[in-house]
Structure 1
């Protein structure tokens, strides 16, 4: 009985503690929520004022009016962090004079100095955040300090630095491809290409050098650049990548040649078919189906004997689209009457270009 009373007392004590703790937590959270709402109104009003701010009549830059209350709140770390996030978000969504006004506000509030202090932090996430701010706010005067992080061993810092230099100086920022020793991941490449799509197009140089880089990921990225920007003058450089020792580089070269090709490209690809990996062989057949211009259909017909359905389908598609007589040759072949080709051909007929 006494043990039951002790357990009951402990349970009631824990319940009382939890209820008190939760009540206190909800009370504090309610206070912070009210504070955040006030801060958001204050910050939003400041950003609207900054975005539509005009210079003085004499054309000289003048300071954006800031209330005393907001200046006092700048010493509050929570408020300052909230302000920075909102300025960065606003800067990403506007351009031209509006973006310049936000940049002026950012500097006027001394937030650039805070970012530089974060850049010297030993915590990688703070360094990455500082680099992101410098890039987004267009602080070109700090380009040299950011550029040295483009080959940083920390993946996140390195990625943010590479994005930042593109924000700061556009296509010229890709010069970091000359010196990086780490691999550019697929996700990094996607982010870089997305960032480049927003940069005003200028003469993009250096792709030929990157196509022969010792860093395989740089070569792959250069192939994507050549493909995206239709650099036909690099055709021979792209073809040379078909002999690269990395199968991923060769696969990307095949994909690039699907868009950048000349009269004998299909024959060039077929010449390498036998010694390629299975996935790259599939890529070659898919490329031929797009490029066409196959001189000898019998070469393609010889690959129909494969037991793998995926390969058989890819070869059949290449035959049909690779030559104007391809469909006739395939239909007249005895293997077209057997499974699975007998089911594949009707579907492939609907895809004829």
Structure 2
């Protein structure tokens, strides 16, 4: 289907039906898996919307979101994210406060990726130390926002978050994405009670080539 030939929705559906014999939940899951794998390989195509519409994938994911199975819900979160189906933003938001920790975490991560309306609102909801996997996933989502042109300044959460692990990560991301305009916040973090926060602030200030008063740096190093 990913060729130069132009297909109608009916032709796509018929071709898919010929391949899988019967279009049902199982075969649609297989089809979505192929689309996700194809897109994860960074293969761009203007055929995605047509295929998604032809196979009624949005409706299929709607059913998975409403499933009693947590694994199906999680699959739907991840598939909606990869296929960039931001129409599910509000639906995913419902699960962001689930009592189930895994559902809540996956919903928040997917919401970060899909939402164009304050997607980082959950930064202040992280209530535990970030694992390396958490950091990798969050970095991927932040990169996606940057590619969309929606990456906001991270200073707000650095300034107000009570989670030192998150603060360290966000300060690191400020350096990675070369964000400007939060010099004062970074310099203030040189006097933070947490030594990891102070250390990362020094590294990020260096990456951004922000000059700081020598005495402040010496005092900070002594504190560390």
Length-normalised TM-score, structure 2:
0.78
CA distance in 2: counterparts of 1:206 and 1:232, whole angstroms: 8
1:54 maps to what in 2?
Answer: 6
2:31 maps to what in 1?
Answer: 83
2:43 maps to what in 1?
Answer: 94
2:192 maps to what in 1?
Answer: 244
The alpha-carbon deviation at position 85 of structure 1 amounts to 0.9
CA distance in 1: counterparts of 2:107 and 2:70, whole angstroms: 12
User: Residues 52 and 182 of structure 1: is their aligned pair in 2 closer, same or farther, counting only changes over 3 Å?
Assistant: farther
Q: Is the 8 A contact 1:208 1:237 kept in 2?
A: yes
Deviations, residues 316-348 of structure 1 (Å, cap 9, x unaligned)? xxxxxxxxxxxxxxxxxxxxxxxxxxxxxxxxx
Q: Is the 8 A contact 2:158 2:167 kept in 1?
A: yes
- The size of the alignment, in residue pairs, is 218
User: Residues 231 and 250 of structure 1: is their aligned pair in 2 closer, same or farther, counting only changes over 3 Å?
Assistant: same
CA distance in 1: counterparts of 2:65 and 2:216, whole angstroms: 50
CA distance in 2: counterparts of 1:239 and 1:101, whole angstroms: 48
Length-normalised TM-score, structure 1:
0.53
1:223 maps to what in 2?
Answer: 171
1:192 lines up with 2:142 in the alignment: no
Deviations, residues 35-78 of structure 1 (Å, cap 9, x unaligned)? xxxxxxxxxxxx43xx54537xxxxxx5251325357422372x
Q: Is the 8 A contact 2:95 2:107 kept in 1?
A: yes
The alpha-carbon deviation at position 200 of structure 1 amounts to 2.0
Which of the numbers 197, 206, 212 marks the counterpart of 1:264?
212
Alignment of 1:33-44 (within 5 A): none
Unaligned runs of 5+ in 2: none
Which of the numbers 62, 84, 103 marks the counterpart of 1:138?
84
Deviations, residues 217-273 of structure 1 (Å, cap 9, x unaligned)? 332232123212223421110122233333332332232123134433543221123
Deviations, residues 73-126 of structure 1 (Å, cap 9, x unaligned)? 22372x33322211211233322xx2x422331232123222222223343322
Unaligned runs of 5+ in 1: 1-46, 56-61, 277-353
User: Residues 275 and 91 of structure 1: is their aligned pair in 2 closer, same or farther, counting only changes over 3 Å?
Assistant: closer
CA distance in 1: counterparts of 2:6 and 2:213, whole angstroms: 57
2:74 maps to what in 1?
Answer: 128
CA distance in 2: counterparts of 1:259 and 1:171, whole angstroms: 30
Q: Which structure's CA Rg is the greater one?
A: 1
Q: Which 4+ stretches in 1 moved above 6 angstroms?
A: none
CA distance in 2: counterparts of 1:146 and 1:202, whole angstroms: 22
Q: Give the structure, 1 or 2, with the largest relative contact order (CA under 8 Å, sep 6 or more).
A: 2
Q: Is the 8 A contact 1:147 1:161 kept in 2?
A: yes
CA distance in 2: counterparts of 1:243 and 1:130, whole angstroms: 43
Tell me the SS of whatever aligns to 2:122.
Answer: helix
The alpha-carbon deviation at position 139 of structure 1 amounts to 1.7
Q: Is the 8 A contact 2:96 2:105 kept in 1?
A: yes
1:73 lines up with 2:31 in the alignment: no
User: Residues 121 and 76 of structure 1: is their aligned pair in 2 closer, same or farther, counting only changes over 3 Å?
Assistant: closer
CA distance in 2: counterparts of 1:216 and 1:249, whole angstroms: 7
The alpha-carbon deviation at position 201 of structure 1 amounts to 5.4
The alpha-carbon deviation at position 176 of structure 1 amounts to 2.9
CA RMSD of aligned residues (A): 3.1
1:176 lines up with 2:110 in the alignment: no
Q: Is the 8 A contact 1:128 1:157 kept in 2?
A: yes
CA distance in 2: counterparts of 1:71 and 1:203, whole angstroms: 39
